């Protein structure tokens, strides 16, 4: 993986020293809060409900064991012994003190990390396929370009005060595991007819108040022109994006106001004006970065293991883990292993310092020193030998990290919601916990099959509810928490925004409503091969609406009074 | 309806409330309730001075009802803040 060179190190340390000076001046009163706020946000330090929260960047979701240990040490020393992995492959510390922030930033710099550009109207941390470099269906490794984009976008003087925040995702595989169509710019590595690799550029995707699936800006961009072309896109947005209205300031609104054809015309015109050679990456530098991402030299290991086969027969929990949490690696003797931070009843995405240390130890011993973070709030060990899986699994059991539910209904995404977040309207975590408890039986969850269930505590959609096969959005209805359900969303190649199924539910009724949706799916599907999403596309929203809202249907849900039913039915 | 004024302490970020003696305290039960516009303005001015003195940040008024003379917040958000911890 990429290691900071002397330039990166000097830059991050100079920013750490600058931030220490800013915090010192704030604490003695030389800077007012008004002056200081943008400075702390540029370094990822937010004020949340109970405390300051520090968001640390994990570039394209890649960590070394040493970096994960550094995060564990920060959790232990400066937080309450845990961290929260986010839906943008970052980590947040929920209980930090302003006075400690400079020491935390120094500790990050010591491990080659920082919190720069994890907030503010700038290009945020670039996200990528968590299986990058190892997936069997990959065309080229997107981490190389993730690193190129990290260097290009860090402190880029032209793009630090954009109309609004800006998120880029990149995937190099046939299957989209990075939700590229829900980003301001989505990049797909594709192969041209002549065999060369380049990029499909998608623009204007995003969730939030006005969700859009990204549209194709260019079907093929030769790889050497990525930076000059993105520079042109950013310039058109920076000049024409709306700065007068917070809710209309994202690039998706500009793209849809102009239309994709006019937006493309402006980008191409700007691109013609740009001196490509001054911006595009020199081949030698691309080569240097590429070398940082060569596959570690993996010893040849047997593709099958009698011990694994025996354990799968003897231990149903291990068998479920194998089936749900491991995926083919490009080398036959290895598997990609997902550590789901989704033990039913616990907080999605949270990991204790001890768990982070345990994963770091496993990465060193069995995983060639690499850990990935997924936007679905899980961790990945990208190279685990098939024969080592029983040992790794046993260590995960000891650390409480063996939830065998990757990709199932209980592997749900949830934002911090009103338990932590200053923007939230409703709680997400208790809802996630209750739904996960309902479907905690792995056999039942497995019988339901592949299903993405996503929960956001407000319309900003950090919990990706629009892209959930089942999406849940928390709303404030006259001072009480209610939850609106959407169906049919998808984050993948077939990206789609979910449709609202009907009036919202009170918190206590929501798990029953989800049960009703699942029962409807199970009753209608053509066998277990028909996933929830496939069935939804076949039958549409009507049977689900009927199951939830037909005469008497809601009344059968517990806790609901007739009066509440009448009130809800009257709502638009 | 009564109000109290809340903020976050500058150094730690912890949730605090203005008490009758002018100090900023963690316990919402010790917050000074204000029953009218004039006293709202008065406690807002005290908060503004505390901001200027770098003790607190982000002060704002919170709607409360009084139970046995003690303020209880109305909104879920403020109930959670008053607990100083998530509900999970």
The 10s digit of each residue's pLDDT in A1-41 is: 899 999 999 999 999 999 999 999 999 999 999 999 999 99
Residue A373 contacts residue A130 (beta carbons within 8 Å):
yes
Instruction: Detail the DSSP E strand segments found in A197-347.
Output: 197-203, 215-222, 326-328, 334-339
Residue A565: pLDDT band (50, 70, 90) is: very low
Q: Where in chain A is the domain with CATH 3.30.413.10?
A: 134-291, 413-570
Residue A229 contacts residue A269 (beta carbons within 8 Å):
no
Structure-token pair, residue A15:
């920013």
CB contact under 8 A, A433 and B88: yes
Among B13, B74, B75, the residue with its CB nearest the CB of A47 is B13
pLDDT, mean of residues A304-321: 97
The answer on pLDDT for A569 being more than 80 is no
Q: What local confidence, expressed as pLDDT, does residue A567 receive?
A: 37
Residue pairs between chains A and B whose CB atoms are closer than 8 Å: 71
| Mean model confidence pLDDT for chain A | 95
- Classified by CATH at the fold level, domain A134-291 comes out as Sulfite Reductase Hemoprotein; domain 1 (3.30.413)
Query: Does residue B88 belong to any structural domain of this protein?
Result: no
Q: What local confidence, expressed as pLDDT, does residue A1 receive?
A: 87
Domain count along chain B: 1
Q: Structural domain of residue B47, as residue ranges? A: 2-83
Cβ–Cβ contact B80 with A under 8 A: yes
CB contact under 8 A, A98 and B13: yes
The answer on pLDDT for A365 being more than 90 is yes
Residues of A in contact with B12 (CB under 8 A): 51-52, 97-99
Q: What is the ipTM of this complex?
A: 0.97
Indicate the pTM of the whole model.
Answer: 0.95
| B residues 12-41 lying closer than 8 A (beta carbon) to A | 12-15
Cα torsion through A385, A388, A392, A395, rounded to 10: -160
| CATH class given for the domain over A6-59+71-110 | alpha beta
CB contact under 8 A, B87 and A419: yes
- Classified by CATH at the fold level, domain A413-570 comes out as Sulfite Reductase Hemoprotein; domain 1 (3.30.413)
Q: Where in chain A is the domain with CATH 3.90.480.20?
A: 306-398
Residue A248: pLDDT band (50, 70, 90) is: very high
pLDDT tens, position by position, A469-510: 999 999 999 999 999 999 999 999 999 999 999 999 999 999
Residues of B in contact with A480 (CB under 8 A): 76
Surface-to-core class of residue A561, CB atoms within 10 Å of its CB (0-12 exposed, 13-18 middle, 19+ buried) = exposed
The alpha carbon of residue A208 and the mean position of all alpha carbons in its chain are separated, in whole angstroms, by 14
Q: What local confidence, expressed as pLDDT, does residue B1 receive?
A: 83
- Please list, residue by residue across A264-286, b when 16 or more beta carbons sit within 10 angstroms of its beta carbon and e when fewer do: bebbeebbeebeeeebbbeeeeb
Q: How far is B12 from chain A (nearest CA, A)?
A: 4
Residues of B in contact with A433 (CB under 8 A): 88
Residue A215 contacts residue A203 (beta carbons within 8 Å):
yes
Q: Which of A183-197, A250-264, A553-567, B38-52 has the lowest mean pLDDT?
A: A553-567
The number of residues in chain B equals 88
pLDDT tens, position by position, B15-43: 999 999 999 999 999 999 999 999 999 99
CB contact under 8 A, A49 and B14: no
Residue A570: pLDDT band (50, 70, 90) is: very low
Among B10, B12, B88, the residue with its CB nearest the CB of A429 is B88
CB contact under 8 A, A418 and B10: no
| CATH class given for the domain over A306-398 | alpha beta
């Amino acid at each position: 993986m990429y290691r900071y060179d002397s330039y990166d190190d000097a830059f991050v340390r100079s920013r750490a020293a600058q931030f220490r000076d800013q915090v010192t001046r704030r604490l003695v009163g030389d800077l007012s809060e008004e002056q200081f706020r943008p400075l702390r946000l540029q370094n990822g330090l937010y004020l949340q409900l109970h405390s300051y929260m520090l968001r640390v960047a994990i570039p394209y979701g890649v960590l070394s064991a040493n970096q994960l240990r550094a995060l564990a040490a920060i959790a232990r020393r400066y937080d309450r012994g845990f961290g929260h992995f986010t839906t943008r492959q970052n980590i947040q510390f929920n209980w930090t003190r302003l006075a400690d922030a400079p020491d935390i930033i120094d500790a990050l710099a010591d491990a080659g990390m920082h919190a720069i550009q994890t907030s503010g109207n700038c290009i945020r941390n670039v996200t990528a396929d968590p299986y990058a470099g190892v997936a069997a269906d990959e065309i080229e490794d997107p981490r190389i370009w993730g690193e190129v984009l990290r260097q290009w976008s860090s402190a880029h003087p032209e793009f630090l005060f954009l109309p609004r925040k800006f998120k880029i995702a990149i995937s190099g595989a046939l299957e989209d595991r990075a939700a590229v169509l829900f980003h301001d710019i989505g990049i797909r590595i594709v192969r041209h007819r002549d065999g060369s690799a380049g990029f499909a550029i998608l623009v204007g995707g995003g969730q939030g108040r006005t969700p859009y699936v990204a549209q194709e800006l260019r079907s093929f961009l030769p790889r050497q022109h990525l930076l000059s072309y993105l520079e042109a896109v950013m310039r058109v947005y920076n000049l024409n994006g709306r700065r007068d209205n917070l809710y209309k300031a994202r690039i998706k609104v500009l793209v849809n106001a102009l239309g994709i054809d006019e937006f493309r015309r402006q980008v191409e015109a700007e691109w013609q004006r740009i001196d490509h050679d001054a911006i595009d990456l020199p081949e030698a530098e691309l080569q240097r970065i590429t070398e940082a991402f060569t596959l570690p030299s993996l010893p040849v290991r047997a593709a099958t293991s009698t011990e694994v086969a025996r354990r799968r027969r003897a231990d149903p929990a291990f068998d479920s883990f194998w089936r749900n949490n491991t995926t083919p690696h490009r080398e036959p003797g290895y598997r990609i292993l997902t550590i789901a931070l989704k033990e039913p009843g616990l907080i999605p995405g949270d990991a204790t310092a001890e768990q982070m240390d345990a994963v770091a130890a496993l990465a060193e011993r069995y995983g060639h020193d690499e850990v990935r973070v997924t936007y679905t709030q899980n961790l990945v060990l990208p190279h685990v030998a098939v024969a080592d899986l029983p040992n790794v699994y046993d260590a995960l059991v000891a650390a409480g990290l063996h939830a065998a539910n990757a990709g199932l209904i209980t592997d749900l995404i949830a934002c911090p919601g009103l338990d932590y977040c200053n923007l939230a309207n409703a709680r997400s975590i208790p809802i996630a916990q209750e739904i996960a408890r309902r479907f905690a039986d792995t056999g039942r969850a497995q019988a339901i099959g592949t299903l993405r269930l996503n929960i956001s505590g407000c319309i900003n959609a950090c919990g990706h509810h629009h892209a959930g096969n089942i999406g849940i959005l928390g709303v404030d209805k006259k001072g009480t928490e209610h939850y609106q359900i959407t169906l049919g969303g998808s984050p993948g190649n077939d990206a789609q925004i979910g449709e609202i199924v009907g009036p919202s539910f009170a918190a206590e009724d929501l798990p029953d409503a989800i049960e009703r949706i699942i029962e409807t799916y199970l009753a209608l599907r053509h066998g277990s091969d028909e996933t929830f999403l496939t069935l939804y596309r076949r039958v549409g929203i009507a049977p689900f609406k009927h199951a939830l809202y037909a005469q008497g249907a809601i009344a059968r849900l517990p806790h609901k009074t007739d009066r509440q039913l009448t009130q809800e039915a009257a709502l638009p | 309806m009564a109000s109290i004024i809340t903020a976050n302490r500058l150094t730690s970020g912890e949730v605090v409330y203005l008490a009758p003696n002018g100090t900023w305290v963690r316990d919402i039960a010790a917050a000074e309730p204000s029953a009218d516009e004039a006293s709202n303005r008065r406690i807002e001015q005290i908060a503004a001075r505390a901001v200027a003195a770098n003790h607190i940040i982000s002060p704002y008024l919170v709607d409360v009802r009084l139970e046995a003379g003690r303020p209880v917040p109305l909104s879920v958000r403020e109930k959670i803040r008053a607990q100083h911890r998530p509900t999970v």
